[in-house]
């Protein structure tokens, strides 16, 4: 299966797939279980993560669930496949869903999410002061780790909304590519380290210690410290930073608390992580990292989805036999079409052999991880019907 862009010419999905030598992952069981409230699709870039998330979300909706799919991948493939002109920070209804369920789709806007947090946890005057602060504007747009933290904020918001009014009973999350997809697991700890760091404590000490002897002492010390920083950073930047810290001081505890609550939500049995990979060396190496990290963090792993699997109609004819037969026909000047098909079959069998070897190596390292596989498709997935096909392939494994 492609990630809305890749395809494999002429591969028939009715062919025989790989022998993964692993327990079968039943994704219908995952999405149909009312206790499953969150599904997180993670994996390396370009392996079909976005497609998998969208297909699972559509299938769950058409099985009667009320679903919201959230992507934090900057690519906009999801909107195109679901017939939407755009995706933004607001869940938008997807038209054309069969059955009694519903489907909404959205894409994380990390700055807008940060703005919403500020607006909802500050009075209007203080919120505006924060939003107008140049340091805040830089932090909310490009500071390392902001996207992952805001993804947790948005997931927490969606789950809180779902719990409050029943808007959705399943949230499907499509994560960024590569190992950064698991950075949100580290967001609470990294946020706490930043907020509890010496630099932040020094900056906030004058405000926190106001009216106390130690506060006055720290305030004097800060004046000397500020003089040094002014020479290094410039007076305006230091003023912006100090104003930002003073304005958000009361919000720090709330940030950390909400991040930790969302982390606990991810570890809850109602969450299911689906690791997505392709039968390629680098993708399966990343998948192994994901599986091990999730297990180390005691996160609920549903299993592995292996996309773009080479399927063949006649697996008993080896690559070598096909090449010999093609060579004989070519030398005899007979049946050039058959010779070309035999050569193509030989290429596919060589690819299949490589994929089989890599897949078996992965399952040997992780024998208890259930797996599902999806054949490489002959064309791009670009609409709901294509997503339905992928959903069927995801949930009907031999």
Burial class (CB in 10 A: 0-12, 13-18, 19+), 367: exposed
Report how far residue 4's alpha carbon sits from residue 174's, in angstroms, rounded to the nearest whole number: 13
pLDDT digits (tens, 9 = 90+) for 325-336: 777 777 777 777
Q: Is residue 327 part of a domain?
A: yes
Q: Is residue 72 part of a domain?
A: yes
Q: How many CB atoms lie within 10 A of CB 100?
A: 11
340 or 51, which is more confident: 51
* pLDDT more than 70, % of the chain: 73
Which pLDDT band, with edges at 50, 70 and 90, does 259 fall under? confident
Contact 348, 12 (CB under 8 A): no
Contact 376, 11 (CB under 8 A): yes
87-96, 137-146, 291-300, 306-315 — which is least confidently predicted? Answer: 137-146
Strand boundaries in 61-146, DSSP class E: 66-71, 92-93, 102-107
Q: Is residue 52 part of a domain?
A: yes
Largest alpha-carbon pair distance within the chain?
Answer: 100
Q: Is residue 355 part of a domain?
A: yes
Q: Output the CA–CA distances (angstroms, integers) from residue 383 to 166, 310, 325, 390, in the order listed.
A: 28, 23, 40, 11
66 or 16, which is more confident: 66
Which pLDDT band, with edges at 50, 70 and 90, does 80 fall under? confident
Residue 363 is part of which domain span?
27-395
Q: Is residue 22 part of a domain?
A: no
pLDDT digits (tens, 9 = 90+) for 216-244: 433 444 454 455 444 444 555 556 666 66
Q: Is residue 8 part of a domain?
A: no
Which pLDDT band, with edges at 50, 70 and 90, does 53 fall under? very high
What's phi and psi for 311, nearest 5 deg?
Answer: -110, 145
Report how far residue 240's alpha carbon sits from residue 226's, in angstroms, rounded to the nearest whole number: 12
Q: Is residue 19 part of a domain?
A: no
Q: Is residue 16 part of a domain?
A: no
Residue 149 pLDDT > 80:
no
103 or 377, which is more confident: 103
Report how far residue 21's alpha carbon sits from residue 18's, in angstroms, rounded to the nearest whole number: 9
SS3 271: strand
Of 277, 275, 278, 274, the closest CA to residue 8 belongs to: 278
CATH of the domain at 204: 3.40.50.300
For Cα atoms 35, 73, 82, give the angle at the middle one, nearest 5 degrees.
70
SS3 206: helix
SS3 392: helix
Domain count, the chain: 1
Q: Name every residue whose Cβ is closer than 8 Å to that of residue 391 and which is 6 or more positions away in sequence.
A: 55, 56, 58, 59
């Amino acid at each position: 299966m492609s990630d809305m862009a890749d395809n494999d010419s002429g591969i028939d999905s009715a062919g025989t797939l790989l022998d993964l030598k692993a327990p079968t992952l039943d994704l219908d069981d995952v999405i149909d279980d009312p206790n499953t409230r969150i599904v997180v699709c993670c994996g390396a870039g370009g392996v079909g993560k976005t497609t998998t998330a969208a297909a699972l979300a559509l299938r769950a909706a058409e099985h009667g669930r009320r679903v919201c799919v959230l992507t934090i991948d900057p690519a906009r493939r999801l909107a195109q496949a679901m017939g939407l002109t755009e995706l933004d920070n607001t869940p938008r209804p997807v038209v054309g869903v069969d059955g009694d369920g519903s489907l909404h789709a959205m894409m994380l806007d990390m700055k807008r999410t940060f703005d919403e947090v500020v607006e909802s946890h500050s009075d209007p005057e203080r919120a505006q002061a924060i939003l107008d602060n140049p340091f805040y504007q830089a932090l909310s747009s490009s500071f390392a780790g902001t996207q992952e933290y805001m993804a947790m904020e948005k997931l927490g918001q969606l789950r809180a909304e779902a719990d409050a009014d029943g808007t959705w009973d399943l949230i499907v999350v499509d994560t960024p590519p590569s190992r950064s997809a698991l950075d949100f697991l580290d967001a609470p700890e990294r946020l706490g380290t930043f907020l509890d760091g010496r630099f932040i404590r020094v900056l906030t000490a004058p405000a926190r210690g106001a009216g106390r002897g130690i506060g006055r002492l720290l305030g004097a010390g800060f004046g000397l410290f500020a003089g040094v920083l002014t020479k290094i950073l410039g007076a305006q930047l230091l003023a912006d930073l100090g104003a930002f810290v003073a304005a958000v001081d009361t919000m720090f505890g709330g940030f950390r608390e909400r991040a930790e609550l969302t982390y606990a939500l991810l570890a809850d049995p109602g969450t299911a992580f689906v690791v997505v990979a392709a039968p390629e060396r680098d993708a399966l190496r990343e998948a192994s990292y994901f599986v091990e990290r999730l297990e180390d963090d005691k996160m609920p792993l549903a299993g592995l989805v292996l996309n773009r699997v080479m399927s063949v109609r006649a697996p008993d004819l080896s690559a070598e036999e096909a090449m010999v037969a093609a060579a004989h026909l070519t030398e005899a000047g007979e049946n050039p079409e058959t010779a070309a098909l035999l050569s193509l079959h030989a290429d596919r069998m060589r690819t299949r052999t490589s994929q089989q070897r890599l897949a078996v190596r992965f399952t040997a390292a992780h024998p208890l991880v259930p797996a599902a596989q999806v054949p490489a498709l002959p064309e791009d997935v670009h609409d709901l019907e294509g997503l339905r096909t992928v959903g069927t392939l995801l949930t009907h494994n031999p």
